[in-house]
Amino acid sequence: MHLGVLLRLPLALSRAVLAALRGRLGALCWSLAPLSLHLPLPLSLPLSLPGWRRGRVPSPSAPPAPHRQREQRDEAAPTPTSVNYHFTRQCNYKCGFCFHTAKTSFVLPLEEAKRGLEMLKEAGMEKINFSGGEPFLQDRGEFVGQLVQFCKEELKLPSVSIVSNGSLIRERWFKKYGKYLDILAISCDSFNEEVNVLIGRGQGKKNHVENLHKLRQWCREYAVAFKINSVINRFNVEEDMNEQITALNPVRWKVFQCLLIEGENSGDDALREAEKFVISDEDFEQFLDRHRDISCLVPESNQKMRDSYLILDEYMRFLNCRNGRKEPSNSILDVGVEAAIKFSGFDEKMFLKRGGKYVWSKADMKLDW
């Protein structure tokens, strides 16, 4: 309707027409919402639309939280001291045992991610770990770089870390964001390149082990604590890594037992079939015994891993892994941290028992850079 015609109408009728127009526009926006999930930016409208709430991102792949979330209202909420935020599921590697696979391509808008991180800080978060997927895929590392800077500069978090396969990290990233990062953890499951290819960490002519050494040197030059994560599986369980780990000298060497998660790397609806990678508890203990003299080794069996991590997915939903699959809470952006975290399945005692709380700020590590 032309604005001049609208201005000549009685006031009450004009309001009715505006309300009708706004309602139709609101319906149109909701119908376009699934499409907007694959755009670089969400729809941004100056009108206050019916049913629209800032931060609520509808998604066909983000089902409503289970009915069990109507219960447990009286349970005390744990403190989110250390949070792992898997803001993307996309990855450039195809590790056969991956337990957080590319089931969606969704990534929150930067400002919404920052809003969620601020909510976590207010709830008691001291450490944030950014993971994926591969964190450096999104905007060539700019997205995670801006989150790292925000968490250190604005939120003043004691510890900010990233877990990456390392293949996409460039020195210019360290120059821009290295001072804000406490720990960089690089995934390396073998020092035999043929084994890395078997696992799924091969990427053409690039050598994963050679890149690991380059990243170690950049961490020294830009004062970032260096950490290594290794998943022990059928293809590397007999390997002796003592010499290589000693030479790299990470602040921590996290050694995980290959874990099955239904719907991720096991079961009919999974994108991976990790059964062939699984090892027994005895095999895992033998690997640990072979490396018992490495002081930075931090072992994590399946039992320790399953309930002792606070995991946020790409929608900022806590993932409960207690039943062998990832059951999501409501998003903290919709219901708040305290309401969502009650359904995380987080075992705070196991978190402390596995050494989840440690010296995690590089300012307190007193490392010889």
Which of the residues are catalytic? 91, 95, 98
* Range list of H helices, 137-192: 142-149, 171-177
| Burial of residue 338 (number of CB atoms within 10 Å: 0-12, 13-18, 19+) | middle
Q: Which of 68, 29, 33, 60 is nearest to 47 (CA)?
A: 29
Contact 108, 314 (CB under 8 A): yes
CA-angle at 281, arms to 278 and 285, nearest 5°: 115
The answer to whether 173 and 166 have CB atoms below 8 angstroms apart is: no
Asked whether 251 and 227 are in contact (CB, 8 A), the reply is yes
Q: In what order do the strands lie in the sheet with 183-187?
A: 297-300, 252-257, 225-232, 183-187, 159-164, 127-131, 82-86, 311-312, 317-320, 327-331
From CA 38, how far away is CA 313, in angstroms rounded? Answer: 17
What DSSP letter does each residue of 106-141 carry, written as one string? ----HHHHHHHHHHHHHTT--EEEEESS-GGGGGGG
CB 186, CB 164: distance < 8 Å: yes
How many Å apart are CA 127 and CA 124, to the nearest integer?
9
